Structure 1
Amino acid sequence: MELIPTLFPTAEEFSNPIEYLSEPKIQRIGHIYGMVKIKPPEGFNPPFSINKESFKFNVRIQHLAELNITNRGRMFFMKQLNNYHRAQRGKKSQMLTKPYVVCANDQRLYFYDLFLNILRYLNSNPGSDVKKEHILKRKRGRPSSNNSADERNASVAPLAPLEDLLSDTNLWRSISRNLKIPAQELQSVFEQYISKYYNYLALQAKIRGAADFTKLLYTEEYPKSLLSDEESEGSSSEEEGNDEEGCVICDLPNKPTKMILCDSCDKPFHLACLTPPLTSVPKGEWICNNCIVGNGYYGFREESRFYTLSEFKDQCDARQRELTIDPVTGKRLSVEEMETKFWNYVDNLENSITVKYGADINGVEPGEISGFPSVSYVPDNLSESQRREFAAYADHPMNLLNLPNAKGSLLPMFDRRISGMTVPWIYVGSTFSTFCWHLEDQYTLSANYQHEGAPKIWYSIPEYSSDDFNNLMKSLAPDLFDKQPDLLHQLVTLISPYDKRFKEAKIKCFKAVQNPNEYIITFPKCYHAGFNSGYNFNEAVNFTLDSWVPYGIEAIGDYQVTGKQCVFDMFELMLNVVIEFLKGNSFFQKKEGLLRTSYSELLDLLNSKTKLIKQLPDISVNDTFLKEIVRNSDSKRIINKIPSPSAESDTNSLSDNETNHIDSEDFDVFCTKCHTICFLAFIIHYKTPATRKRRKLHSLNATQINALKREHGLEVLCLKDYLNLVNETYNKDEDDDKYNDDNENNDPFKNDVLNYIRDPQEIRDILKAVGRKIERAKI
């Protein structure tokens, strides 16, 4: 595999990293390879400045084989089959210990692979007998509705009736060709191990009127993985649940009905909240739908103990020989040999290992935040010359404490620091500990520096191959992505870049080997992953270039699709850019591309939001909530183009007091449905008559508003999702007079409140002033 380029900037270039990385030739390299390695100029070697006495951290437990996306799908499916059989009132005869059976030709047939092939066939062969009959039955049995989501999705519904499935000879022939196993044997395995479970899913979907089995799941704020290695010590389902813990479905602890505990995840449910509801606690084991259907969630368990660096390093050294030394020659394995060994552990479900990784460590005390020198922590035993050198490194722009705020970066446009993004996170690796495939938050650039230890191996997929990579991963486990749309944002999934399926998809991938005193820079929308070849200490932070802005805008739409929550408000950043331009900030006067992009995007956003507001039903308006322009308490002066005192400052114009404010509170309001940041306004929707007594919201801050989602009767919705809810509600009702003036008490939206975060007219005035100034300056 081709290595990424290594850059050797001069001392001058290295001292102005944003300008250096913005050079067209560097931008081209970043686009082609997705990453670059930077070796500092000779003489740059900052002292490792972590406080080894006070710095302690806990570690993640990583089961390497479970990180392989195919392995995890297979293990999940076996657990789901077993949970289904557990729920059949003690019928445990089919409890599985392996996710496969061995066929007559000694070939393994994984139950998950067979199940997926069935679903793929049904979805990709709309002309099949089983699919046509299934669609006809659904259409004949459903009232007509031009706006029904189920009607639109009927053509892709995967759950055809079991009897139709078994009789479709074309289906079994097709799957036989794919899996290279006789059709008769495939059908026999399906009938013996999967058919009852499949039938259960189909019947559940029919009962609920759902198009597919992903609609059978409950939303959980704190989901539990089916592969959790923590043994459940829950009570029997015959016992009543803890009254203090809220029901998973309604989130209420008290209700005039008993609670039941799932014997798999140990979570409580009200009998009446289940679909269909239970009238009494059943005998034997009871398993919830999320454990039978599978929620697709996977997360790392963390050890409760805390390590010092020396303790963790000693533990790593004790295992080093086993994992990195050739038992025959006694020599340390080469990087290529370690790659082979690592990916074998990831791919092999039955011969893998468990490793520990100190990842995403966000220290808060001086000497524990970063390994770079800092003004907040200066070791006592330094000589005068060492102190001067220490201070120079503490101020250097390539010190990762400083890079996010370096001259030219846009992240200082926020009035806060963001842990893990503008404040470094620390990573303490052990042999074969891994970081899974992921993109940086909001597609920003990242810088990773290694302070000490063994090499870190990286893989990069540049942005032009990111769609191919996404498509490949979704094709390998489509059900997992249905259940967890933001799966690739969760940093828990791997596939080897040497996998034949990876190569067949023609995904471009490059490699890097990072050593101490080397930086790895990732560029926007570059997927990256890798592993550690032994104990090492790294830290990473995010930063931006002007060329990143279109990627940041793209991320907003992508996140809405997957339900991932933004870390910061991209539109707030662009608003602050144009405000600084109006204030006369010299840094922005010649940023033509940045200014025009920010101006046009903000104008489009304002127009689209204004249009949505005009379509709202007749609801109350609260225009006092958070009504302010960020960093702009004197907007009238800005609109009148009077320069502020900071007109000649650069982008680092925030005071120490402002920039040192850690992001412990929410600064933005998030939509309950799509998790997007509500830039202009949001709506409080009262879902049930019992909760339609209007709340006093004017004194609540963003954190308190976001906490309202935990109240079962309330929703915080963006304008788009609220209008979708209104339209769906009215379209479902066939009685045109239900919501007329004479029956206004029946209106489910009458107590809802529109809350302005910013004044639309004030933003429009600012944009008018910006437009005029841009044209006058001929930018």
Structure 2
Amino acid sequence: MSRATFSHRQQIAQLDLYREGFQKLPQAPTLYPSEEEFKDPIAFVKKNRGLIASFGIAKIVPPKSWNPPRLVNDKKKFETKKQNIYQLCNRITPHDLFMLLLRRFLAKRDPEKAEKLGETWTDLESSEIMINGNAIDLYDLFIQVMSRGGYDQVTSSDSWSQVLQCQLILGDTDENASKLLQFIYRDYLLELEREQTRKRGLYQAEKKEEPRVKDIVEPTDRIDFCSKSEWNKKRKIVEENYLDVSLKDSLKAAVSYFQDVSDVELECLVCSKKLEHEQNCFTAFCKDCDPLNKQKFGFLEGCVVNIEDLKEYSEIFRHRWFSARKSRYGIYPKEEELINDPSYLEAEYWRLVDSSQDAVSVYYGSDLFTNLYGSGFPSFQERQKFVEANNPNKIEQYDKYLLHPWNLNVLPELSSSLISCLNVKIPGITIPWLYVGMLFSSFCWHNEDSYMYSLNYMHEGEAKVWYGCPGGANAALFEASLAVCVPELFEANPDLLYNMVTTVNPLRLSRMGAKICRTIQRAGEFIVTMPQAYHAGFSLGYTCAEAVNFASTDWLPFAWAAHSRYIKYSRAPAFTLEELFIGVINSPDFLTKTCLHEAKCLLTYIQKIVNFELKQRNRCLGMCSRTVQRSKLEVLGDCSHCKHSCFFSSLVAVGGNEASATFCLHHVNEAARYFPDRRELIFSYKYSEEELNLLVVRARELVVGRKQASFVATDAVHKKTSIENIVTAHSDQKV
């Protein structure tokens, strides 16, 4: 059987395995509210909370009467992020390693050429080696030429046009493009090929064999020339692990291109600093240059486009990528429409993520502030513009949805949402964010700020694939599974999940024991995510969506757990629980709709907050030289240790040769250790002990009032879900 046939079989088998695996994943619930149920989104979610919580996410399909006006601004320019799909799971990839070594190889021979390769780890984005404005992937170019016998063979057989087709070049190319690609290879890669041929020739001579071009080392997972029996063994491993099993082999192969070419050993591949540890393709970096370092990876700054631009780019990219894929691997859907098949695109996406072979990058307009870029829903600030630009017949439809509870501009402000009691408006939480994506635009594994609920609506576009995992104990199991899949990333960055730049194949997580589900969201549909539920996904083409958070009282146990965890990892929350509770107690609109169980829940957590504050306050009074009461409107600063805003009170160490340092009451011990270097430790507070106790009294009065009301209209019996019990038990421990 030919080499190409085995490569073809390997690719087909992997895609088929992925397609079969994803179809077997549990499907998230799809809910169809009636006209009556659709009047109140928070009540509808609470009614179905037990079902949704067991999956983590759910799809909500509105009634047929739901028909909000299309208000997306196609012309408004916005900034995008550039996502390297091949780096979302594997930070050290064959492509990056090859380019890094190539830069070192060229730097000794022609430093100017080395500089044109671009910056470390962002080669394709900063490279000056381009055709038609597209940076050429020198790693893939080298692979394609070597697989065809090398430079001389490709040139003599006039095959440069075939090699060109393997490159991801967007837009039309002229007749000189093939020649230009040949010149690029000659200038940047031919010397490496000659060195490889010489090296292999010497190796073969030692074995008294004639050197052959085919003996040049090739990445085993790009061109797999194994026997049928070997492939069957590999297929079994792929079936068991659902990932490209030869990624490490590819990394080693990338290194082997340069073996004996450079005699430098035990030096960092980036800065040449001498290493004190054993060197291999994963550890060939000093601490400052290590790509696993938490400061080294993030989404790059993308282009500035509007919706029309990104929609057009997405389609061009789709057809050009699959054309290049056909040329690279000899695989292409038998029917043209298969490149729009969600199951095929899903398999291809995860092949790109897992193998890390193809340096595919896409753009994503994420976290776009709707006050600046415009909401897809009616809003008061945009109403006058709409009136001026449209005929009177359309105004009626606009106003119909202006205060609709499923309008994401309205949802956070509903009286049944706790965050409606906040005195500040927070982009992305109480003010929706817009998300404009293209094919393969990704949102990586994460849960919402402070473990809140979220509601995501797709205004228009093709579809998004969503994956979800429930909160509570399942969230802990999910995190453990993720840590097993990418241990090196967690070791370098313990708070990896807060960065939202890492994704792992759901099939791998599922096999580790995580409870994963999936669903496909289409235009006109909502996705709700439950408290602490992890979720991830990607776009199947152009998509325009909008999302916002909300929080009902059943969220409070999760809020407490998030509060504790943020302190542990020094993550600043969007708002403090103290600030929220002050708003809740002062909000009669919310309190009049609070049932007995909700009143008891509020009392529990307000009591916890106040008890902790008073206990720590007594400690502070005994160690501080001064005590100052501040205005309620004054900002007390952020804790130097955990980044949390000091809402009720703070400790400030002043004097000495350094700037003053602020500590919250969770870090009184740290403030005490810091004190010897300061002349004075000051305790500042905004609320007196009497005022804090009044918060508890107000909450108790609420419980009493709800109890009295229950004699008239008995509250429905509230039964906790298993998830709530787990979270409550976990969060009862001291912060």
Class of the TM-score when normalised by the shorter of the 2 chains: 0.5 to 0.7
Q: Distance in 2 between matches of 1:627 and 1:435?
A: 39
The CA distance in 2 between the partners of 1:613 and 1:79, in whole Å, is 58
Q: Are residue 774 (structure 1) and residue 703 (structure 2) matched?
A: yes
Structure 1 residues 10, 612: CA separation in 2 closer, same or farther (over 3 Å shift)?
Answer: same
Structure 2 counterpart of 1:20: 44
Per the alignment, residue 299 of structure 1 pairs with 298
When residues 589 and 328 of structure 1 are mapped into structure 2, their CA distance, relative to the original with a 3 A threshold, is closer
Task: Give the letter aligned to residue 61 of structure 1.
Answer: K
- Determine if contact 1:81/1:197 at 8 Å carries over to the other structure: no
Contiguous gaps of at least 5 residues in structure 2? 1-24, 112-119, 122-137, 140-199, 201-214, 222-247, 250-258, 324-331, 709-735
User: 2:490 aligned with 1:468, yes or no?
Assistant: no
Please name the residue that 1:488 is paired with. 497
662, 666, 669: which one aligns with 1:720: 666
Question: Matched residues in 2 for 1:408 and 1:363: separation?
Answer: 23
- 1:415 aligns with 423
What residue in structure 1 maps to residue 651 of structure 2? 683
Shift of 1:81: 11
1:456 is aligned to 2:456: no
Q: Determine the C-alpha separation between the residues in 2 that align with 1:611 and 1:60.
A: 46
- What is the distance in 1 between the residues matched to 2:696 and 2:98? 56
Q: Indicate if the aligned counterparts of 2:78 and 2:306 stay in contact, CA closer than 8 A.
A: yes
Q: 1:56 aligns with which of 73, 77, 82?
A: 77
Q: Is the Cα contact below 8 Å between 1:34 and 1:526 reproduced in 2? A: yes
**Is residue 564–residue 675 contact of structure 1 (8 Å, CA) maintained in 2?**
yes
The one-letter code of the counterpart of 2:465 is I
Matched, 1:369 2:374: yes
Match of 1:576 in 2: 583
**Post-superposition offset of 1:80:** 14
Identical counterparts, % of pairs: 25
Q: Distance in 2 between matches of 1:310 and 1:776?
A: 56
Q: Could you list the per-position Cα deviations for residues 194-223 of structure 1 after superposition, in whole angstroms to 9, with x for gaps in the alignment?
A: 97779x99979xxxxxxxxxxxxxxxxxxx
- Of 605, 610, 613, which aligns to 1:606? 610
Q: CA deviation at 1:294?
A: 5.9
> Deviations along 1:447-497, whole A, 9 cap, x unmatched?
111111111111111124211221122234445334433211211001111
Q: Flag the 1:586–1:439 CA change in 2: closer, same or farther, 3 A.
A: closer
CA distance in 1, matches of 2:535, 2:590: 36
Tell me what 1:759 maps to.
Answer: 688
1:457 counterpart SS class: strand
- 1:424 equivalent to 2:432? Answer yes
Supply the distance in 2 between the matched residues of 1:592 and 1:324 (Cα, whole angstroms).
59
C-alpha displacement at 1:77, in angstroms?
11
Deviation of residue 523 (structure 1)? 0.9
**Aligned equivalent of 1:312:** 310
User: Within the alignment, does 1:516 sit opposite 2:523 as a pair?
Assistant: yes
Partner secondary structure for residue 531 of structure 2: coil
Partner Cα separation in structure 1 for residue 583 and residue 37 of structure 2: 28
Look up the equivalent residue of 1:335 and give its one-letter code.
P
Distance in 2 of aligned mates of 1:81 and 1:314: 33
| Aligned equivalent of 1:618 | 623
Partner AA of 2:378 in structure 1: P
Distance 1:311 1:549, change over 3 A: same
- Counterpart CA distance in 2 for 1:513 and 1:586 is 35
**CA gap 1:723/1:507 in 2 versus in 1, 3 angstroms:** same
**1:410-457 per-position Cα deviation (integer Å, ceiling 9, x unaligned):** 111011211011111111111111111110111111111111111111
Which residue of structure 1 lines up, in the alignment, with residue 91 of structure 2?
Answer: 72
In 1, Cα distance between the equivalents of 2:99 and 2:682? 42
Offset from partner CA, 1:58-84 (integer Å, 9 cap, x none): 11111101111xx1156899699989x
Task: For residue 395 of structure 2, give the secondary structure of its aligned residue in structure 1.
Answer: helix
TM-superposed CA distance for 1:578, in Å, is 3.0
Cα offset, 1:716, TM superposition: 1.7
CA 562–49 in structure 1, closer or farther in 2 if over 3 Å, else same: same
Map Cα deviations across residues 251-310 of structure 1 (whole Å, 9 max, x no partner): xxxxxxxxxxxxxxxxxxxxxxxxxxxxxxxxxxxx99533696322211113x421222
**1: CA distance between counterparts of 2:438 and 2:81?**
11
Aligned-residue offset at 1:717: 1.2
Cα distance in 1, alignment partners of residues 486 and 660 from structure 2: 34
Structure 1 vs Structure 2 CA RMSD? 4.3
Separation in 2 of the partners of 1:770 and 1:597? 10
Given that 2:412 and 2:430 are in contact with CA atoms closer than 8 Å, whether structure 1 keeps it comes out as yes
Paired residue type of 1:439: N
* Contact 1:485–1:563 (8 Å) recurs in 2: no
CA 202–620 in structure 1, closer or farther in 2 if over 3 Å, else same: farther
The structure carrying a bigger helix percent of its residues is 2
Q: Could you list the runs of 5+ residues in structure 1 that have no partner in the other structure?
A: 111-178, 181-188, 205-225, 227-286, 630-666, 692-712, 731-746
Counterpart CA distance in 2 for 1:27 and 1:108 is: 49
Find the counterpart in structure 2 of residue 29 from structure 1. Answer: 51
Distance in 2 between the 1:549 and 1:752 partners? 34
How far 1:38 sits from its partner (Å)? 1.0
Question: Aligned pairs, how many?
Answer: 530
1:397 aligns with 2:405: yes
Look up the match of 1:290. Answer: 288
Q: 1:593 to 1:36 in 2, by over 3 A?
A: same
Conservation of the 8 A alpha-carbon contact between 2:595 and 2:706:
no
Q: Measured at CA, do residues 560 and 479 of structure 1 come closer, stay the same or move farther in structure 2, by a change above 3 Å? A: farther
Are the aligned partners of 1:486 and 1:564 in contact in 2 as well (CA < 8 Å)?
no
Pair 590,393 (structure 1): closer, same or farther in 2 beyond 3 Å: closer
Is the 1:680–1:760 contact (alpha carbons within 8 Å) kept by the matching residues of 2?
Answer: no
Q: Distance in 2 between matches of 1:585 and 1:492?
A: 39
Amino acid paired to 2:66: F
Do the aligned partners of residues 579 and 393 (structure 1) sit closer, same or farther apart at CA in structure 2, a change above 3 Å counting? Answer: closer
Distance 1:477 1:296, change over 3 A: farther
1:10 aligns with 2:34: yes
Give the TM-score, by structure 1 length.
0.61
Query: Within 1, Cα distance between the matches of 2:45 and 2:410?
Result: 16
Find the counterpart in structure 1 of residue 211 from structure 2: none
- The answer on whether the counterparts of 1:62 and 1:356 sit within 8 Å (CA) in structure 2 is yes
CA distance in structure 1 between the partners assigned to 2:512 and 2:519 by the alignment: 22
Aligned to 1:504: 511
- 1:384 maps to 392
Q: Match of 1:752, SS?
A: strand
| 1:332 is aligned to 2:318 | no
2:209 maps to none
Describe the shift of the 1:197–1:722 C-alpha distance in structure 2 as closer, same or farther (beyond 3 A).
Answer: farther
Q: Is the 8 A contact 1:578 1:598 kept in 2?
A: no
- Structure 1 equivalent of residue 632 of structure 2: 627
Kindly provide the CA deviation profile for residues 88-137 of structure 1, in whole angstroms up to 9, marking residues without a partner as x.
x99x9xx9999xxx9x9x99899xxxxxxxxxxxxxxxxxxxxxxxxxxx
**Counterpart contact for 2:95–2:357, Cα < 8 Å:** no
Closer/same/farther in 2, CA of residues 393 and 451 from structure 1, 3 Å limit: same
2:607–2:696 contact (8 Å) kept in structure 1: yes
Deviation at 1:354, TM superposition (A): 0.8
2:337 corresponds to which letter in structure 1? K
Compared CA separation, residues 312 and 27, structure 1 to 2 (3 A): same
**Counterpart code for 1:345:** L
- 2-structure distance, mates of 1:496, 1:347: 7
- Tell me the alpha carbon deviations over residues 596-631 of structure 1, each in whole angstroms, 9 at most, x when there is no partner: 2222222222222322233335324343334369xx
**2:361 is aligned with 1:350:** no
